[in-house]
Structure 1
Amino acid sequence: MTIRTVSIIGLGALGIIFAKHFSDNLPKGDVRVIVNQSRRQRYEKYGIYCNGERCDFNYVLPESEQKPADLLIFCVKFNQLQQAIEDARYQVGEHTIILSALNGISSEEIIGKTLGMEKILYCVAQGMDAVKIENKLTYKNMGMICFGEKENTTWSEKVTVVADLLDKLKFPYEVPKDMDHRLWGKFMLNTGVNQTVAVFSTNYGGIQVEGEAREVMIAAMREVIALSHKVGINLGESDLTYWLNVLAKLNPLGMPSMRQDMAANRKTEVGLFSGTAIYLGRQYHVPTPTNEWLYQKVQEMEKDFDMQK
């Protein structure tokens, strides 16, 4: 099998990065950006910009019946996932491979339950420092995607054909041997970074240096390490060091999606981060005081901007 057609649903920061890179390196008609009618009209009128360049995407409506895509990539926020699954149905055929670039540790199973787990490869996007304000995206580091089956000592056919495509497009990637471990590592990072940057109203620079914000971030991450031992993932200090090194390379002026949502008075994905940590902490009797504090602070901030509307 060779991947020739790619469909992308979700034009947040990751969706734009993927759609721009793929559209620049494949025939325009082979890269579909799935959007509803109102979004297509808005995007065609006002444009989508990536590092100052207007993007010329091939917008496709969810109801458009066509040959299924070889590769489907989900790039929506978690609260948009169920609608995105419905909107992507016509893109999925017997041999379609699906990647989910969503935050958290549950989206693959949710997508697979409807569209078929046999089509799923697990995926983590890391190292991006993109900032999206309205219809304009800027970034310095495009990062990479890590993907694969849960265990990749030997690559499956699905892993091999996706790797072949990314090699052809010169898109940075890695195939970790243990995807569960990598997913939990990214979950640990997000739980620390996204929430701390949002609560302290700062940017990556604010948690790349010593101080209260960085201490809170690391404390939240250590709680996830403790939880990981209860579910058999067994994150450790080497994982903490690895992800802190990833964080250190990001543009100090950049900020994660949760901080961007806060700045735009949008509801956040706090339930994916501290919400999940608190739930698992209660299930396995692991204290999560830092995540409970972060969850409460985010809830208070969201109430404040609800009152401002």
Structure 2
Amino acid sequence: MTMKKVSIIGLGALGVLFGHHLSKKMGTEDLRIIADSDRILRYENDKLYSNGEPCHFHYVTPEEDCGPTDLLIVSVKYNGLKNAIESVKNHVGDDTIIISLLNGITSETIIGETYGMDKVLYCVAQGMDAVKVGNELTYEHMGMLCFGSREPGVISPQAKKLAEFFEQMDVPFEVDTDMYRRQWGKFMLNVGVNQTVAIYQSNYGEIQREGKARDMMIAAMREVIALSEKEGVHLTEKDLGYWLKVLGTLSPNGKPSMAQDVEAQRISEVELFAGTVIELGRKYQMPTPINQELYEKIKSMERQYSVQ
């Protein structure tokens, strides 16, 4: 049976990007954006724009009983995940497929603890250079969604069903038969790119060219490679090269979400990146000095927000 209804929670850059794209392909009430009443009022008053086009979304509150969805897309920030899991309960049914667009390597497990891992496909969003400032999203590259099962070598019925739907919706995608490894690769990229661009308060161009920023980024990524060996994932320099090529396709004027958070003086996802690396380093008694430095610098920047 084909998918007919989609629910999205979280209208950051990726929520707006894919929400706007799907809204032009689906019936208005078949795409549901979950948000509390205060957020809905703000969205309706201020409007949201994607590359200059107004977004026409159908909003529902968490309390609204509108029946289960076929596909639930979770695109909140990590610090909003717990509330999001509670807010989507009216949208999850026996046959709902859930994908998380969150960075890091933990959100699928956290969602699965509440709704069951049988409903969750591992997913990585990559290759987009979306920047959201206020109510306006801009991007040159839409990127793609890579998804699949946790177990290597398997293409599940849910993955096949989602692939068929995304084909119908013209959503760029790739089904990966080694998704956990892909997720660790994206985690490695985020650890390097997001944090380095944030402390340099710059953009992708800063780490696409040779220099101190790029050196720091790659050193942080190599700490993840070392830890992946202990976790049985076995990332290599070849993986590093692959993700650096992905990085090279992005608009040099774009910037990752953490850099956007620092600009807007919002608390970042540093715990998801350097925090996770440092914790794994302690677990395996491995030094992670670059991520320790990134962690301390970003935390120091965040402490300055309240005194400026």
Query: SS of the residue aligned with 2:124?
Result: strand
> Residues of 2 paired with 1:82 and 1:2: CA distance?
30
> Residues of 2 paired with 1:86 and 1:5: CA distance?
20
Identity rate, percent: 56
1:23-172 matches, cutoff 5 A: 23-151=23-151, 153-172=153-172
Quote how far apart the aligned CAs of 1:305 are: 1.3
Query: SS of the residue aligned with 2:98?
Result: strand
Quote how far apart the aligned CAs of 1:126 are: 0.4
> Residues of 2 paired with 1:156 and 1:204: CA distance?
35
- Alignment correspondent of 1:204: 204
Residues 152 and 175, structure 1, Cα contact 8 Å, conserved in 2: no
Residues 76 and 84, structure 1, Cα contact 8 Å, conserved in 2: yes
The C-alpha deviation readout for 1:79-99, integer Å capped at 9, x for no partner, is 000100111000001110000
Query: SS of the residue aligned with 1:166?
Result: helix
Query: SS of the residue aligned with 2:210?
Result: coil
> Residues of 2 paired with 1:257 and 1:287: CA distance?
27
> Residues of 2 paired with 1:170 and 1:18: CA distance?
11
- Across the two proteins, how many residue pairs are aligned to each other? 308
> Residues of 2 paired with 1:99 and 1:123: CA distance?
6
The C-alpha deviation readout for 1:145-201, integer Å capped at 9, x for no partner, is 000111353421100110000001111111112111001000000000000000011
Equivalent AA in structure 1 for residue 301 of structure 2 = M
- Alignment correspondent of 2:300: 300
Residues 198 and 258, structure 1, Cα contact 8 Å, conserved in 2: yes
Equivalent AA in structure 2 for residue 173 of structure 1 = F
Q: 1:303 to 1:297 in 2, by over 3 A?
A: same
253-262 or 146-155: which moved more? 146-155
- Alignment correspondent of 2:259: 259
Query: SS of the residue aligned with 2:146?
Result: strand
TM-score, normalised with respect to structure 1 = 0.98
Structure 1 stretches of 4+ with a deviation exceeding 6 A read none
Equivalent AA in structure 2 for residue 247 of structure 1 = L
Structure 1: gaps (5+ residues): none
The C-alpha deviation readout for 1:219-248, integer Å capped at 9, x for no partner, is 000000000000100000110000000000
Equivalent AA in structure 1 for residue 45 of structure 2 = K
Residues 155 and 177, structure 2, Cα contact 8 Å, conserved in 1: no
The C-alpha deviation readout for 1:23-68, integer Å capped at 9, x for no partner, is 1111111100001100111111110010111100011111000220
The C-alpha deviation readout for 1:240-276, integer Å capped at 9, x for no partner, is 0000000000000000000000000000000000000
Equivalent AA in structure 2 for residue 257 of structure 1 = S
